[in-house]
Amino acid sequence: MSTTQRSAPPPSNVAHRAGVLLRRREARIAYAFILPYVSLFLLFRIVPAAGSIALSFADYSLAGRFSWVGLDHYERLGSDPLVGEALVVTAVYTVIAVPLIVVSSLGMALLIRRPTRGVKFFRSVFFLPVMTSLVFAGVIWRWIYADNGAINSLLDGIGLSSVSWLSSGTLVLPVLASVATWARFGFDMLIFLAALLSVPAELEEAARVDGARWWQVFRYVVLPHLRPALFFVLVIETVHSFQVFDVIYVMTAGGPVRSSTTLVFLLYQRGFEFFEFGYAAAIGVVLFVITIAVAIVQGRFFGRSRT
C-alpha cells in the first residue's frame, strides 16, 4: 500500500491564479457591458466612415451606378479653387470662433464658480442655449443681425449708423462666430467649472497671502490645473468649428459671395445639391485629416503634462 501525498501549491500561486480568474471574469463582464456600444459604434460610425473613404475613390450616382475612379477626386480637389477658398474660410472662422468660445466660457466659469446667492440660476440660464436647436436659433439671430434687425435698430436709437453685418465679407465670420459662442459657451463653461472646483482653495489662498494679484493667482495657480480641461475644450471646439454648417445654412447660405462657404458647406452643396457623392466624400476625408492634424498639434502644445 502506498500513498501519494500531493504537495499543496504555495499560497502565493493560489492567490495569483484566483486573481487572474477574477480579472478574466471581470473582463468578460466588462466586455459584455461595452459590447452594445462597441457594436453600435462600429455599425454607425466606423463602417460609414470606412465607406466614405472608399466612396471618395469612386463615382456613385443616384441611379446606383458605381465606378472606381482612383485618385481623380483628390486631383480635382487640388485644383479646385473653391476648395482652397473654403479651406481659408474654415480656418479663419476657426481662428475667430475658438478663442472667442474658450475665453467666454472660461470667463463665465470664473464668474459663477463661487457658491454665491443665485449662482445656480445663472448656471442653468447660461446652459440653456446648449439645449436650443441651432437651426431655430439661427433664424432668430438672422433677424437680429439683419439690416433692419434689432442690433441696427439699437444702433440707430443711440445715434450710430447701421452696420451690414451679414452683407459684409469682413464681418460675416465674426458674426457667425458670435452665434456659435452663444450656442456653445454653456457646455464648455460646465467643463471649466468642474475643473475650477477641483483647484485646491488653500493654494489660491496661500498665493494671495504671499501677495499675488488676481491675475498672478489665475496665471500661476489656477491655469495649470485647468490644462487638461483647456486641452479638451480646445480640441472639441476646433473640431466643432471645422464642422460648422447649420448656422451658416440658416443665416448666410454661404454668402455674401463665398465669404462663409466653409468646407462642410461646400461638401453639402456637392453631395446634396449636385449629387457628386464621391467628390463630397473626398472633401470629407480631407477635412477629417486636417482636423486630426490640428488636434495632434494642439495635443503637443496643451496636452503634454498637467502642470
Partner 1 sequence: MRRTTTAVVGALAVMMVAACGSDSGSGSGGGGEITGTVTMWTNPIYDENAMREHYEQQAAEFMEEHPGVDVDITVNPWQGAQEQLTAALAAGEGPDVAYLIPDRIPTLASQDLLTPLGAALGEDREDFHDNALEAVTYDGEIYAVPVLQSVIPQVYDKRVLDAAGVGEPPTTWDAFLEAAEKVQAAGYYMTEYPGHLEMTLNISFYPWLHQAGGSVFADDGESVAFNSPEGVEALEYLTSLVENGYTPSGAISEPSNIEQSEVSRGNVAQVSAEPQRLIELWGAENVLVAPPLENREQVAYGTVGAYGVLSTTDNTDAAQAWVNWISRPEALREFDVESGYFAPRRSLDDLYADDPVLGDVEKLIPMTSTFGPHPAKSVEVMTTLRVEVQAALLGRKSPAEALADAEAEANRILAAG
C-alpha torsion 253→255→258→261, nearest 10: -40
Binding residue for partner 1, selected from 90, 104, 178, 252, defined by CB under 8 A: 252
| Interface map 110-139 toward partner 1 (x if CB under 8 A) | ------------------------------
DSSP-derived secondary structure letter, 158: T
**In the complex, what is the shortest distance from the CB of residue 244 to partner 1, in angstroms, rounded to a whole number?**
10
Q: Is 26 in the site for partner 1 (CB under 8 A)?
A: no
* 279 forms part of the interface with partner 1 (CB under 8 A): no
Q: Which of 166, 217, 234, 247 binds partner 1 (CB under 8 A)?
A: 166
As a whole number of angstroms, the distance between CA 190 and CA 131 comes to 13
The answer to whether 208 contacts partner 1 (rule: CB under 8 A) is no
| HSE of 63, CA atoms in CB hemisphere, 13 A | 2
For partner 1, the closer CB: 90 or 104:
90
Interface pick for partner 1 out of 64, 70, 118, 157 (rule CB under 8 A):
64
Is residue 94 a contact residue for partner 1 (CB under 8 A)? no
| Spatial CA neighbour of 152 closest among 28, 272, 122, 142 | 142
How far apart (Å, rounded) are the C-alpha atoms in residues 265 and 202? 49
Query: Does 50 participate in binding partner 1 (rule CB under 8 A)?
Result: yes
Is residue 209 part of the contact set for partner 1 (CB under 8 A)?
no
Rounded CA-CA distance 173/68 in Å is 37
C-alpha to C-alpha distance for 288 and 285, rounded to whole angstroms: 5
- Binding of partner 1 at residue 54 (CB under 8 A)? yes
- Count of chain residues binding partner 1 (CB under 8 A): 56
Rule CB under 8 A: say whether 255 interacts with partner 1. Answer: yes
Angle, helices 172-197 vs 81-111, to 10°: value is 40
For the four alpha carbons of 78, 80, 85 and 91, in that order, the dihedral sign comes to negative
Smallest separation, CB 300 to partner 1 (Å): 18
Does residue 146 belong to the site contacting partner 1 (CB under 8 A)? yes
Q: Which residue has the cell 448656422?
A: 247
Q: Is 297 in the site for partner 1 (CB under 8 A)?
A: no
- Site stretch for partner 1 (CB under 8 A), options 20-28, 53-61, 200-208, 226-234: 53-61
User: Apex CA 181: angle with CA 196 and CA 231, to 5°?
Assistant: 45
Question: Among 239, 298, 302, 303, which residue sits at the site for partner 1 (rule: CB under 8 A)?
Answer: 239
Q: Binding to partner 1 by residue 221, rule CB under 8 A?
A: no
Show the cell assigned to 100.
472667442
**What's the rounded Cα separation, in Å, for the pair 93 and 170?**
11
Structure-block grid coordinates of residue 242: 471645422
Residues that bind partner 1 (CB under 8 A): 44-45, 47-52, 54-55, 58, 60-66, 142-143, 146-148, 164, 166-167, 169, 239, 242-243, 245, 251-258, 264, 267-269, 271-275, 277, 280-281, 284, 287-288, 291-292
